Structure 1
Amino acid sequence: MMGYILRVAIAVVTIVAVSELSKTHPRYGALLLSLPLTSILALGFSWQQHHDLVSVSQLAKDTLILVPLGLPLFVPLALASHYGWNFYAAFLAGIVLAAITVGSWLAFSA
Structure 2
Amino acid sequence: MILRAIIAGLVVAVVSQIADRFPRLGALLLTLPIVSIVAFVSVWWKDHELSTISKLARETLILVPLGLPFFVPLAFSERLGLGFWGAFVLGVVLASAAIGIWFAFGPKAGS
Q: TM-score, normalised by structure 2?
A: 0.91
Larger displacement relative to structure 2 (71-80 or 5-14): 5-14
Q: Match of 1:85? A: 82
Q: Match of 2:103? A: 106
**Equivalent-residue separation in structure 1 for 2:100 and 2:2 (angstroms):** 31
Q: Match of 1:31? A: 28
- The reply on whether 1:52 has 2:49 as its aligned counterpart is yes
**Equivalent-residue separation in structure 2 for 1:104 and 1:13 (angstroms):** 32
- The reply on whether 1:94 has 2:91 as its aligned counterpart is yes
Q: CA deviation at 1:9?
A: 1.4
- Equivalent of 2:16, from 5, 19, 24? 19
- The reply on whether 1:41 has 2:54 as its aligned counterpart is no
Residue 20 of structure 2 aligns with an amino acid whose one-letter code is K
- Structure 1 or 2: more helix by fraction: 1
State the Cα RMSD in Å. Answer: 1.0
Residue 99 of structure 2 aligns with an amino acid whose one-letter code is V
Q: CA deviation at 1:84?
A: 2.3
Unaligned runs of 5+ in 2: none
Q: CA deviation at 1:17?
A: 0.6
**Equivalent-residue separation in structure 2 for 1:83 and 1:24 (angstroms):** 25
CA displacement, residues 60-106 of structure 1 (integer Å, 9 cap, x when unaligned)? 00000000000000000000022321111111110000000000111
Residue 29 of structure 2 aligns with an amino acid whose one-letter code is L
Counting aligned pairs with the same residue, the percent is: 49
Q: TM-score, normalised by structure 1?
A: 0.92
**Equivalent-residue separation in structure 1 for 2:6 and 2:54 (angstroms):** 25
**Equivalent-residue separation in structure 2 for 1:21 and 1:91 (angstroms):** 21
Q: Match of 1:62? A: 59
Tell me, what secondary structure is at the counterpart of 1:85? coil
